[in-house]
Amino acid sequence: MLIDFFYTLRSAKLKVSVTEFLALLEALQAGVLDDDGGPTVDQFYHLARTVLVKDETQFDKFDRAFGAYFKGVEMLTDFRAEIPLDWLRQTLERELSPEERAKIQTLGWDELMATLKQRFEEQQGRHEGGSKWIGTGGTSPFGHGGTNPQGIRIGGPGGKRSSVKVWEQRAYRDYDDTVELGTRNIKVALRRLRRFAREGEATELDLDGTIHKTAANAGMLDIQMVPERHNRIKVLLLMDVGGTMDDHIQRVEELFSAAKSEFKHLELFYFHNCVYDHLWRNNRRRHAEKTPTWDVIRKFNKDWKLVFVGDATMSPYEILQVGGSVEYHNPEPGAEWLQRLTHAFPNHAWINPEPQGVWDYRQSISIVQQLVRQRMYPLTLAGLEQAMRQLSK
């Protein structure tokens, strides 16, 4: 009955062999998943992934194929132990008029955090609607499902992009470097940055030199060899992942795939919204395997071209405020780290997938533009060409 599951994985371009699939069936027949309550979908998921997926970079493809085959797969992340379940059930969605929105109070950062602490101490139960307590709907700056220009989202789905902090466990996925490009234009634009030089031993035939030397030697063959040509450009790529960047996954993956094929020396690190004191290489292990940003600055010299990829769409607190990160209490503002990185790598550029027409209406984008010395370019053919010209200087 799992033949269709096998073909679903193959359709997702996962290199699952018949031998591996038979091994999965043998494990099921041997009762590996048998217990008192019977095997669950989650247990089968972990067994199938262990047996069928050989490369952890393919986990995301497997997840999408698995979800497409088994409708209604439950989310594996559970943060309900920290926040009452009833508070996470959205039962109210209010649409406010412009006049009502104008009346909503916008708290400053310090007042917002102090008020949240006070609410946790005072509140005794579930609340929905209203403008004060932590709950769902309403205009309170705490909870989810309501409307407030600057609040702290606790659980629930986002969507309005006005939260200055998010209290939940979020899982991001690595960008796929094997995605097929819809156009070759990105590669052509990136190719403007490549610079070749001959290095190493003379192991490659120099056809023009051989012809010239042979002619000068009265027709006696005189073979000339030259060193191989190598791409000397080195690119340090810092990519924003998760949150609002989910809207741009396809185009960013195309950019990432093109960059991997064009640049031999490419180092990738991830960040979320703004760069802070640490980065990471693998989103599944981002909490356990962090790379201090200082180590990145010390390891790579000024010969490396620094390229940020992100929409720079966030609360200004995330850039300017200690503790402003939506995920943890950052000891220094993100602006400090952006300045350190741009100073360490003079040849830098920021690629923004957000339409350039909205940049002037996003305060955070204006701040980031200033921090990267106005070297922000849209993720378009013209924008990439401008960025590559800047990095070539």
**CATH at 271:** 3.40.50
Are residues 357 and 217 part of one domain? no
pLDDT of residue 120: 60
Are residues 249 and 218 part of one domain? no
- Residue at 176 is within a domain: no
pLDDT of residue 182: 46
Q: Is the pTM above the cut of 0.75?
A: no
Are residues 362 and 213 part of one domain? no
- Residue at 172 is within a domain: no
Are residues 118 and 245 part of one domain? no
- Residue at 149 is within a domain: yes
Are residues 262 and 123 part of one domain? no
Exposure letters 249-282 (e unless 16+ CB within 10 A, then b) = eeebbbbbbbbbebbeebebbbbbbbbbbbbbee
> Would you give the end-to-end CA distance of the chain in angstroms?
60
Are residues 382 and 242 part of one domain? yes
pLDDT of residue 306: 96
Write out the two tokens for 268: 């990738």
Distance CA 59, CA 359 (A): 34
pLDDT of residue 118: 66
Range of the domain at 345: 185-190+232-391
> What total of structural domains would you count in the chain?
4
Nearest Cα neighbor of 90 from 8, 162, 154, 40 is 154
What are the start-end ranges of the E strands in the chain?
135-136, 142-144, 151-154, 163-167, 196-205, 225-231, 234-240, 265-271, 278-279, 291-292, 305-309, 348-352, 376-378
Domain boundary among 19, 42, 69: 69
pLDDT of residue 68: 77
Are residues 266 and 218 part of one domain? no
Are residues 201 and 119 part of one domain? no
Distance CA 242, CA 158 (A): 12
pLDDT of residue 354: 92
- Residue at 337 is within a domain: yes
Contact 157, 90 (CB under 8 A): yes
- Residue at 122 is within a domain: yes
Q: Mind listing the pLDDT tens digit of every residue in the chain (393 residues)?
A: 577 788 888 888 888 888 888 888 888 878 777 665 556 777 888 888 888 888 777 888 888 888 877 754 433 333 333 444 344 334 333 444 555 455 445 556 566 566 656 666 666 555 555 555 555 555 555 555 555 555 555 555 555 555 555 545 556 666 655 444 344 567 767 777 765 444 556 666 778 888 888 888 888 888 887 666 555 788 999 999 988 898 888 888 888 888 888 888 899 999 999 999 999 998 888 888 999 999 999 999 998 999 999 999 999 999 999 998 988 899 999 999 999 999 999 999 999 999 988 998 899 999 999 999 999 999 988 888 899 889 888
Are residues 278 and 161 part of one domain? no
